[in-house]
Amino acid sequence: MKQQVVIISPALADANNGNWQTARRWQQLLQPRYQVRIASHWPDGPEAGADVAMLALHARKSAAAIAAWSRMRSEQTLSPALAVVLTGTDLYRDIHSDEAAQSSLHVAQCLVVLQELGAEALPPALRNKTRVIFQSTSARQTLPKTSRHLRALMVGHLRQEKSPQTLFNAAQLLAPNGTICIDHIGASLDVTLGEQAQTTAAQCLNYRWLGALTHAQTRRRIQQAHVLVHTSAMEGGAHVLMEAVRSGTPVLASRIAGNVGMLGADYLGYFDWDDAQQLVQLLRRCDNRGTDPLYNQLHLQCEARAPLFAQQAERAALLHLVDELQDNSKQPNNACKHPVSL
């Protein structure tokens, strides 16, 4: 009989966000060896008693489940068998001020970050139990792209962490330019930002807010776009970046740790966070791809990073992590065999 693992995710299928995508994919990758279920809290029913390990996404939002699990394991004098996965706002905001998030870090046997700069945001004392697991996605064929204009695509719900204002400002700066068009996919999670998106669409014919689309629809639009634009202020390791890279679509991204950790320090497609003018300059250079080498250079750089986001690499790392977590005899006292090197 397979041993049972629980994945705690603050978001379930109805949210269709990054945490849910990660939880669902990890369930599928682990299923050949483990029985895996996804829950938003713990214990979540009689089946919780059979769990041998927990993977908890987000140190703050999953803190209650993490604390309950830690108490149970301690009362039974078992090793933690707990990995806390730092997915974004917890890594770059919550762990610096929220006591529950901080507690999650300390009770975990292992900490997982989703890009190669993530561990730098952690206290030095915790880095020896931290590892990087790059997320993965399937490779997709690049679809034919229109020759009438440059099609830029942003994928991200309208909330402050995604900094959609940078995209709105870029659309305003580009408004007289009919050769660069922007599509924006994402639900309005902030009333003010939703109103700003509507205003931008009314004032700028080159900007379209498409609202929330299904994952399949979104991936197809990524395949069709010339470039993906990613304006975030804060990211733990954005799923949409690797979807673009694995689709052969170059990325223009804000220069923040979560993006640099995904795309590499030498990537040429960065703009300073909240700098719409720099973003516009990059878009114009991509639009001039017949004479400016930047677009082709970005394409080659993304192609070189693509193997990092292959499914077989993530599966191997994930299985190794869970095998280690439930191997109680070899993993006492919150140790992590393969910490990240900085």
State the first-to-last Cα distance of the chain, in angstroms, to the nearest integer: 39
Q: Please, what is the average pLDDT of the chain?
A: 93
The verdict on 288 and 270 lying in the same domain is yes
Do 285 and 319 sit in the same domain of this protein? no
Residue 117 and residue 207 share a domain: no
Which range is least confidently modeled, 7-16, 35-44, 132-141, 328-337? Answer: 328-337
For residue 142, being part of any structural domain is answered with: no
Over 90: is that where the pLDDT of 58 sits?
yes
Percent of all residues in the chain with a pLDDT value above 70, rounded to a whole number: 95
Within 10 angstroms of residue 1's Cβ, the number of other Cβ atoms is: 5
pLDDT tens readout for residues 236-270:
888 999 999 999 999 999 999 999 999 999 999 99
Interatomic CA distance for residues 206 and 170, integer angstroms: 10
Give pTM, 2 decimals.
Answer: 0.87
Tell me the residue type at 306: A
Name the helix (H) or strand (E) containing 325.
helix 311-326
Total structural domains within the chain: 2
Are 241 and 259 found together in one domain? Answer: yes
Measured CA angle at 56 (ends 52, 58), to 5 deg: 170
Say whether pLDDT at 323 is over 70: yes
Residues 125, 231, single domain; the answer is no
SS3 for 47? Answer: helix
pLDDT at 339 over 70: no
Question: Which range marks the domain in which residue 317 is found?
Answer: 4-136+310-330
The string of pLDDT tens digits covering residues 220-233 is 999 999 999 999 99
- Residue 84 CB coordination number (10 Å): 30
What is the rounded average pLDDT of the residues 79-91? 93
Take residue 159 and report the two structure tokens written for it: 């909330």
Identify whether residues 304 and 319 lie together within a single domain.
no
Asked if 88 and 166 sit in the same domain, the reply is no
Report pLDDT digits (tens) over 105-139.
999 999 999 999 999 999 999 999 999 999 999 99
* Residue among 36, 43, 41, 40 at smallest CA distance from 20: 40
Average pLDDT over residues 31-43: 95
pLDDT tens digits, 181-202? 999 999 999 999 999 999 999 9
pLDDT (average), residues 294-310: 97
Whole-number pLDDT of residue 137: 94
Rounded (10°) CA dihedral 157, 160, 162, 165:
100
Same domain, 165 and 194: yes
Res 341: pLDDT: 45
Same domain, 155 and 292: yes
CB atoms within 10 A of CB 255: 16
pLDDT of 77 reads: 87
Q: Which CATH number characterizes residue 28's domain?
A: 3.40.50.2000
Percentage of residues in the chain having pLDDT higher than 90: 85
Does 331 score more than 60 pLDDT?
A: no
| Run of H or E residues at 8 | strand 4-8
Residues 105, 125: Cα–Cα separation, whole Å: 11
Residue 90 token pair: 């917890």
Q: Is pLDDT above 60 for 334?
A: no
Do 159 and 290 reside in the same domain of the chain? Answer: yes
Distances (CA, A) of 5 to 2, 73, 105, 122, 321: 9, 14, 19, 26, 12
Residues β-bridged to residue 207: 182
